[in-house]
């Protein structure tokens, strides 16, 4: 299982590699956008408020036209890379499983299917994440990018900034667009890989009786994946991740031969020493300076892991659990007044008021 969790992080790395290619597409757009925006900003300096409004309306139309071409190209690039990963998934999965079986002392041979790229592409395009298909997410990113550029351009004109500052705002706005496009790429890559992986299992379904939902065990895990961690599905009833934006979960096979289900281990991560990072676009994020990596037996659910930290004799485990849960939730769990499973309802984290109603 360790190998599969490491693969999840390699897929994140692959998406970051795709980011460079997406950046090149946006860079071509930047040159054209910057020229038009700076031109309009220069003209606006000597025009009335009404004329400025007309110029901005015209500019929005031109921005949309430029971005339409760019995001069409971005969509094709993302799909191409995701399909490559999806079609390679069975072969990669075979190697991961061989390493796992070797680790627990078994030698198992499995059939590796050849997937049709058109089939993988169709799966990517027909999978919904948070209610939106791939095309919907792409359209949303395009609109957000256009709105952000217009907002920054208008702000620059109101402040009567020098043209170089206007150009800088354009560059920063497209930096946010690059990050959003990279996130979409990661969604598509995980969608394609998880699909190809499950097809590998079905090619060998005589060995498999079902599937188990595997969630990452760290502070980034979403409420819905915390709640579904360890959930078992019969064949044909499984819900294949991703279940939400930037979901890192996957399905693990449950074998008829129980010996194959034992002996593995999974990575857990405890990030600590948080600091706030302020970005050029005005947004902030949290970065953790330290990380403790530990291993727990395969099959450990998120609730079991976090509960073990709450009750641990190691002060660092306890400190992480208290910070991750918050003081009130931690105290309620530590005292036994609520169970770990009660923290979540329908994939969402219950607030303190809701938890106190359960007492």
Q: For residue 282, is pLDDT > 80?
A: no
Q: Domain ranges for the chain, please list them.
A: 2-204, 208-359
Least confident piece of the model among 82-86, 92-96, 102-106: 102-106
- Whole-structure pTM value: 0.90
In the block, residue with structure tokens 């009130």:
328
One-character DSSP codes across 204-252: TTTSEEEEEEE--BSTT--HHHHHHTT-EEETT---PSP-STT---EEE
Read off the pLDDT of residues 36-92 as tens digits, 9 standing for 90 and up. Answer: 888 787 776 666 667 777 878 888 899 999 999 999 999 999 999 999 999 999 999
Which tops the pLDDT comparison, 31 or 196? 196
More confident of the two residues 164 and 129: 129
pLDDT one-digit tens code per residue, 294-318: 999 988 999 999 999 999 999 999 9
Q: pLDDT confidence of 276, banded at 50, 70, 90?
A: confident
Structure tokens at 232: 């078992």
Across the strands, what pairs with 336?
A: none
The reported pLDDT for the residue numbered 309 is 95
pLDDT of residue 280: 61
Confidence of residue 334 (pLDDT cuts 50, 70, 90): very high
pLDDT band at 333 (very low <50, low <70, confident <90, very high): very high
Specify the pLDDT at position 192. 98
Among 20-24, 142-146, 192-196, 270-274, which stretch is predicted with the lowest mean pLDDT? 270-274
Query: If you ran DSSP here, which 8-state letter would residue 345 be given?
Result: E
Predicted confidence at residue 90, as pLDDT, reads: 97
The three-state secondary structure class of 181 is: helix
Q: From CA 159, how far away is CA 153, in angstroms rounded? A: 10
CA distance 5 to 10: 9
- Phi and psi torsions of 193, nearest 5°: -65, -45
Closest CA to 58 of 130, 138, 153, 137: 153
Which pLDDT belongs to residue 75?
97
Question: pLDDT band at residue 250, thresholds of 50, 70 and 90?
Answer: very high
Mean pLDDT for the stretch of residues 171-180: 90
Asked whether residue 225 carries a pLDDT value surpassing 80, the answer given is yes
pLDDT in tens, 195-222: 999 999 999 999 999 999 999 999 999 9
Q: Given a cut of 60, is residue 281 above it in pLDDT? A: no
According to the model, what pLDDT value does residue 144 have? Answer: 95
CA separation, residue 186 to residues 82, 94, 171, 183, 189 (Å)? 8, 22, 23, 5, 5
Q: Which residue's structure tokens are 């190697």?
A: 95
Structure tokens of 303?
């609730």
In sequence order, the β-bridge partners of residue 285 are 277
Residue 32 tokens read as 């054209």
Q: What is the mean pLDDT of residues 151-180?
A: 87
From residue 357, alpha-carbon distances to 90, 269, 272, 308, 338 in Å are: 48, 32, 31, 25, 11
| Dihedral sign for Cα atoms in the order 10, 12, 14, 16 | negative
**DSSP code of residue 312:** -
- Mean pLDDT, the chain, rounded, equals 90
Exposure string for 163-188, b = 16+ CB within 10 A, e = fewer: eeebbbbbbbbbbbbbebbbbbbbbb
* C-beta neighbour count of 269 within 10 angstroms: 17
Residues 107-134 pLDDT 10s: 888 999 999 999 999 999 999 999 999 9
Helix (H) / strand (E) element for 340: namely: none
pLDDT given at position 1 = 64
Comparing 25-34, 152-161, 290-299, the range with the smallest average pLDDT is 152-161
**Per-residue pLDDT at 330 exceeds 90:** yes
| % pLDDT > 70, the chain | 96
Confidence bin at 279 (pLDDT 50/70/90): low
């Amino acid at each position: 299982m360790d190998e599969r969790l490491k693969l999840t992080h390699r897929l994140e790395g692959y998406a970051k590699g795709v980011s460079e290619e997406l950046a090149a597409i946006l860079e071509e757009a930047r040159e054209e956008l910057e020229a038009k925006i700076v031109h309009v900003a220069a003209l606006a300096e000597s025009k009335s408020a009404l004329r400025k409004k007309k110029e901005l309306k015209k500019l929005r139309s031109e921005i949309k036209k430029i971005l339409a071409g760019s995001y069409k190209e971005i969509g094709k690039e993302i799909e191409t890379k995701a399909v490559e990963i999806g079609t390679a998934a069975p072969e990669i999965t075979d190697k991961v499983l061989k390493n796992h079986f070797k680790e627990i002392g078994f030698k198992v041979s499995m059939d590796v299917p050849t997937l049709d790229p058109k089939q993988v592409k169709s799966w990517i395009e027909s999978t919904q994440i948070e209610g939106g298909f791939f095309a919907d997410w792409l359209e949303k990113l395009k609109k957000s990018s256009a709105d952000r550029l217009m907002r920054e351009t208008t702000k620059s004109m109101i402040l009567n900034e020098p043209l170089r500052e206007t150009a800088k705002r354009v560059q920063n706005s497209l930096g946010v667009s690059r990050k959003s496009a990279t996130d979409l790429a990661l969604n598509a890559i995980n969608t394609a890989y998880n699909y190809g992986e499950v097809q590998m299992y079905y090619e060998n379904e005589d060995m498999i009786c079902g599937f188990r939902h595997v969630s990452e065990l760290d502070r980034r895990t979403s409420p819905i994946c915390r709640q579904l961690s360890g959930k078992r599905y019969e064949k044909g009833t499984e819900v294949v991740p991703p279940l939400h934006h930037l979901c890192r979960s996957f399905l693990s096979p449950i074998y008829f031969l129980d010996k194959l289900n034992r002996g593995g281990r999974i990575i857990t991560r405890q990030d600590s020493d948080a600091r706030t990072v302020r970005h050029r676009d005005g947004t902030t994020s949290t970065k953790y300076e330290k990380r403790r990596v530990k291993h727990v037996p395969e099959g450990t659910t998120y609730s079991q892991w976090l509960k073990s930290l709450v009750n641990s004799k190691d002060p660092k485990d306890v400190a992480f659990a208290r910070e991750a849960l918050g003081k009130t939730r931690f105290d309620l769990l530590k005292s036994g007044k609520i169970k770990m499973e009660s923290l979540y309802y329908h994939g969402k984290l219950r607030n303190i008021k809701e938890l106190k109603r359960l007492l």
